[in-house]
Amino acid sequence: MRQMTRVALLALLAGMACATSPVLAEEGLKMIGDMRSLTVQTEEGPVEITRTRNDVMLIGGVLQPIVPVPGVVPVGEVEVLEALTDDSFRVVDMRTVEWRVKSTIPGSMHIPYTEVAQRLDELGCAKEGETWDCADALKVVAFCNGPACPQSPQAIKAMVREGFPPQKIYYYRGGMQDWTVLGLTTVENLF
């Protein structure tokens, strides 16, 4: 039975490979940096791992690390839900306005990734001349479009560069991609 399942699977994969046009194969999505595929050895032989566009994917992008800056804490949906009701946290949508208007997490605030370094006062920091004093910074849950979106990782790097403590940053890497796929409530038309 197991051997027959392998044969059926291999036949299916071969049929899919033949049905794939050369254009689609060339347009495979990047995984890490410019890498579009990785071949691993299995008991059945080599298997090529790739990324392809699908119906639930928000963006193509390049996969982001789970910890974009040392000290940042990765979180999931349970922690985001808890943070939404905790006054010591700010859940921050770091995407562009165009994305936020489409849908966002209810109760989140909006600071686009391109503006966060100039708006740390909204997160508990105080401007002192040309630098920020973030001794009283709030805890921040940062999110964007999901595992392949670079917006919140770029914002997190800018925050830390400006003096925001990385241990007070919680990165929801799943972002809107995972939030939506899991069927959690979203709100629209927020600026």
Whether 12 is covered by a domain: the verdict is yes
User: Could you tell me if 46 and 78 lie in one domain?
Assistant: no
What radius of gyration, in Å, describes the C-alpha atoms of the chain? 20
- pLDDT band at 58, cuts 50/70/90? confident
Residues 19 and 93 in one domain: no
Residue 140: per-residue pLDDT? 98
- Range of the structural domain that residue 25 is part of: 2-50
Residue 109: give its domain's CATH number: 3.40.250.10
Q: Is residue 60 part of a domain?
A: no
For the full predicted model, state whether its pTM sits above 0.95.
no
For residues 190 and 128, the model is more confident at 128
Based on the domain organization, do 155 and 91 belong to the same domain?
A: yes
pLDDT digits (tens, 9 = 90+) for 41-57: 999 999 888 878 877 77
Mean pLDDT of 56-80: 92
* Side chain identity, residue 183: G
Q: Which of 17-26, 98-107, 127-136 has the lowest mean pLDDT?
A: 17-26
Judged on CB neighbours under 10 Å (0-12, 13-18, 19+), 2 is exposed
17 and 99 fall within a common domain: no
Separation of alpha carbons 181 and 146, rounded Å: 11
